[in-house]
Chain A
Amino acid sequence: MTQCIGTAPDHNHEHMLSVLARADATRLKTFVEPLIADLGDIEVRENRTGLVMLPMRDTAQGTHFHLGEVLVSEAHITAAGCEGYGMRRGRDLEAAMAMAIVDLCAAMGLHRDVCADFVAAEATTQADDDHETLRRVEATRVDMETF
């Protein structure tokens, strides 16, 4: 049996999951396709859409309240006693499953390098997108003069 190595959370786990949740769905699905064969028998325990309630903190009185719910897709899979999990915004169940497969690979210690490369590439794309957005936002900065 494959030894699960990702049994405890670490800082890379948070980063990997956050990047995968925002990764381009088509690229993510294409990436995991060849990885599946090496995982053995996979049990899909959950693969469904559902809601995540999003609370917010009120700045006037500090109260936590519910802004509303967000549609997400969730996948929970196991193989060889290890588990993989995916949750991302939207109703693309295949993308959630693909995210869970990368997480399962991490838990099993399989395809470490290619997974790390994929996550790094997607992280760079996302950071570039954010950077460009913020350059455009910065262009709207206003300095007001008082007469």
Chain B
Amino acid sequence: MAYVATRGGERAIEQSQRLFKEEMGPITPERVAEVRRALPYLIDRVMGEASLYDEDLAALALAQTGGESYEAILLLRAWRTTQPRLAVAEPVTQETLFTHRRISAAFKDIPGGQLLGPTLDYAHRILATEVLEGDTHVPAAVTPADTPAPAQQPSVAAWQAANGLLTAPEADQTLGNAIPDVTREPLLFPAKRAHTLQSLARAETGGVLALGYAAQRGYGQAHPTVNELRLAEAEIVVKHPRGTQFSAGRVKVSQAEVVSKQGRELGLGFSATLGWNEVKVIAAATLDLNAKGAPKGAATEEEFFLYHTEGVESSGFCIHFKLPHYVTFQSSLDAMRDARSTAAAKDKQPEPAE
């Protein structure tokens, strides 16, 4: 069996790209701005999976690819490689997050209370078809409280540790470029925890959900309960040349802990990503919770879920099957023809006399 080299199709390829782009029409600054304004959660998802935070670039990538998210993410990751890394910010800590949404399904009375924030969890799923009849759907305005919520909320896990329900982790001293980085070094197994969490932060949402859901339905070892879920903004704390630390701005982040009983204590699974994408972080935290001791080849085994949820690689592998794979099965065909001619010759032989 051998592949057959082929050539040609240059004009067809160019026309196919023109056809794709022509059907979408002109990409204007107004269209990009509208994508950014109208689709913030899609923008967040693309930024998280691309591992690059900039709403304008994410909106441009979506506009340019017609919402084909795999292509948009690939564009962003490719663009990212053209940019120098200027700095590594100070690590974001849970307690410093400017919190918009923070809930716990495991404990009702958590310190700081529960803030639902922006969510459709409890909404009637009714399509606003009146818009298609020419009406404008104007959502009801929020009635703000008299007093603001605290900007920062305490950690549920720290409260549990103080009550002897789990062991508080030791503070990591690794900082800056010393933090393991999968964009600069290969992912090897058993994976460094920093690699695992970074890979999950960049992972494809649907893939993480499928495998996390499998674990939640009983194909894992531990049933998760949401210990703490946050949608928040994090400060990007960088250093001025004179040494002053300051915030270069804020980015949206999601973070989830899931919890289950492990022996005499609670075990925690953790995940976080750029942008607001709570389904992804809950599913990813479930995989993290179930990874330890998972059998080889299980959906909850680290090597399995990290390889299969890397969206650019997995979509690229799937896409490559569309490219020419012309193969001659010469030896197989020769063997088939031999078998057929032998059978035919046998059929032609006269039957022996009785």
Contacts and interface: CB of A to CB of B under 8 A. Distances in A.
A55 interface: yes
Contact of A67 (B175, B180, B240, B273): B273
A17 interface: yes
B17 interface: no
Indicate the size class of the contact surface on chain B: 35 or more
A85 B246 CA distance: 12
B257 interface: yes
Contacts of A146: 108
B139 to A, nearest CB: 13
A9 B244 contact: yes
Contacts of B134: none
Interface in B226-261: 228, 234-236, 238, 240-251, 253, 255, 257
B349 interface: no
A94 B149 CA distance: 35
B288 to A, nearest CB: 7
Contacts, number: 260
B241 A85 contact: yes
A143 interface: yes
B201 A64 contact: no
B116 A61 contact: no
A141 B273 contact: no
A27 interface: no
B220 interface: no
A124 interface: no
A111 interface: no
A133 interface: yes
Contact of A61 (B87, B193, B236, B243): B193
B291 to A, nearest CB: 11
A51 B144 contact: no
Contact of B242 (A6, A131, A138, A143): A6
B253 A67 contact: yes
A135 B80 CA distance: 37
A74 B118 CA distance: 33
A63 B195 CA distance: 10
B244 A13 contact: yes
Interface in B189-234: 193-198, 201-202, 228, 234
B57 A71 contact: yes
A68 interface: yes
B314 interface: no
B210 to A, nearest CB: 22
A18 B247 contact: yes
Contacts of B90: 55
A139 B148 CA distance: 8
Contacts of B91: 55-57, 64
A130 B151 contact: yes
Given A63-B193, A63-B194, A52 B87 contact: yes
Given A54-B92, A68-B273, A140-B118, 19 more contacts: A21-B248, A52-B85, A52-B238, A53-B85, A55-B91, A57-B94, A57-B171, A57-B172, A59-B155, A59-B169, A60-B257, A61-B169, A69-B85, A91-B57, A130-B148, A138-B144, A140-B101, A141-B116, A144-B114
Interface of B: 47-48, 50-54, 56-57, 80, 83-94, 98-101, 108, 113-118, 142-151, 155, 157, 169-172, 174-175, 179-183, 193-198, 201-202, 228, 234-236, 238, 240-251, 253, 255, 257, 268-270, 272-274, 288
State the 6 A-B residue pairs at the shortest beta-carbon distance, nearest first.
Answer: A62-B169, A89-B249, A134-B148, A17-B246, A135-B144, A138-B145
7 contacts: A18-B247, A52-B87, A55-B90, A55-B175, A59-B228, A72-B86, A76-B241
